[in-house]
Amino acid sequence: MKRISLRTKLIVHSTLLVLGAVVGVGVSLYLAERLYLLKRFEHTQLENVQSLVQIAREAITTRNQQLLESYLSLLRRSRALTYAMVHTGDGTVIAHTNDRQNGARLADPMTAKAVATQEKLLRQEGKIADDIVVDLTLPILKDQRRLALARVGYSKNFMAQLVDQALEAARERVILAAAVALAVGVFIAILLSFLLSRPIRHLRDGAHRIGDGNLDHRIRITSRDELGELAGEFNTMAAKLQELDQLKQDFVSNVTHELRSPLTSLRGYVEFLLRGSAGPLNEEQKEYLIVVKNNALRLARFIDNLLDVAKIEAGKLELHREPVSIADLAKEMQIVFRPMGQEKKVAFSTDIPADLPPVLADPDKLSEVFTNLLSNAYKFTEESGRIELTATRENEFVHLVFNDTGTGIPPEALETVFNKFEQVKPTRGLARKTKGTGLGLSIVKGFVEAHGGRVWMESAPGRGTTAHVLWPVADPAALSEEEIA
């Protein structure tokens, strides 16, 4: 599954939140605008019927028919108006926006309901032709006596059209405002995500550096909130780890030095006994002493490895650089590993160009790099396998490639294969029986990087392993300057 960064999650979630808020507000504004328009139309209708009541009362009282008809002609200009009229209690029309209805006696259901009602305001709906009409009826009173009824009818469909037309402009404004709000919200969301994720990225990078062994690294504290407290705890943890690492290095250094002296003495006495200086030995006694000698040598190599690791970690590795021929070192390695190759029937071949320049290296350290890498290759290569060493020049480096047909390294182990005491656990064949201290590749990495080079592994289970080493080429001009100095 593809990893999604915290910053991306913050941007996505914030954008969705802003989008939801904008949509919610936009819809709310749209519905509120629609409700406002409908209320405004209803209020307009009520004002019109109330005005009609006042004009009609005046016209009936003063018997001024022209006043009433003039007002009805004014109402007739409204596009949503279906009719406006004044009629008596028995339905006889006194005045109508349709002059042909004047004097007619209405007997439709809405008129019957309007005549029969005792309410101050009657709102009803009825169908006229293919349209639905909203009818408002108010009684015309004088001294609590009903003189007539004032009625105004509006087309419901036409009012809906007017509302939609008014909402169209409102809709455009709402969409524009929503787009601007969304753009501003997304910008603020991105800005906040950067501001919030920056200290978290610093914590992550710091944790990676500390995890990679850079215990001197400290996370810069820029805030006094929970993230600042977490950064402080990280720094405290790094300081304690650094203190423990120093104690460990001191312990390893002291123990290895303390072990080396008695071990040297032990090896000396074993050699003394094997030479027969203390008297003749039988075969069984010699066999026992050889076992002691071999294990003492093995322990001595382990102690040397521990000392090398301690020097690498402390930055106190002493290097005596000089030009070293890769071709000569490869021939030496063929001689050293010939017995092991013959025993396991593993072929070892080299491909070193004749014009390959020498590298600048401490001969002992470079020899140990070759020995460790080739030892691992022989260790994990089964019978009738092959080991190849090739070298080519790449700019200011010599690229060394150690390739074998062994059991290979699982992908998950490639990232940690150079760690101290890290041993790959093979799953098949003779590799299951191999043993080691887990320091060889760590020493290789330390020696290579101390010379300004780089080392990495490529491997797959069952397909062998390829170790790559980039080693600086010896610069003749630089060497001459050093000799003069």
Do residues 401 and 407 make contact, with C-beta atoms less than 8 angstroms apart? no
3-state secondary structure of 102: coil
Which residues does 435 contact at the CB level (< 8 Å), separation at least 6? Answer: none
CATH of 322-484, one of 3.30.565.10, 3.40.50.300, 3.10.105.10, 3.40.50.40: 3.30.565.10
Side by side, the strands of the sheet bearing 397-404 are 347-351, 386-394, 397-404, 465-472, 454-459
Burial class (CB in 10 A: 0-12, 13-18, 19+), 419: middle
Q: Where are the domains of the chain?
A: 6-162, 226-314, 322-484
Which CATH fold would you assign to the domain 6-162?
Beta-Lactamase (3.30.450)
Q: What is the pLDDT along the chain (485 residues), one digit of tens a residue?
A: 566 776 777 778 778 888 888 888 888 888 888 888 888 888 888 998 999 999 999 999 888 989 988 999 988 888 888 999 999 988 999 999 998 899 999 988 899 998 888 778 899 988 887 889 999 999 998 888 889 999 999 988 888 888 888 778 777 777 888 788 888 888 887 887 777 777 777 777 777 777 776 777 777 777 677 777 777 887 888 888 878 877 777 776 677 667 777 877 887 878 888 888 778 888 888 888 888 887 877 777 777 777 777 777 777 788 899 999 999 999 999 998 998 889 889 999 999 999 999 999 999 899 999 999 999 899 888 888 999 999 999 999 999 999 999 888 888 778 788 887 777 665 455 444 555 667 888 889 999 999 999 999 998 887 889 999 999 998 765 444 444 33
Q: Cβ neighbours of residue 278 under 8 Å, at least 6 residues apart? A: 272
Q: What are phi and psi of 73, to 5 degrees?
A: -65, -30
CATH of 226-314, one of 1.20.950, 3.10.450, 3.30.2310, 1.10.287: 1.10.287
User: Would you list the DSSP string of 408-433?
Assistant: ---GGGTTTTTSTT------SGGGGG
Name beta bridge partners: 95.
86
pTM score, whole prediction: 0.50
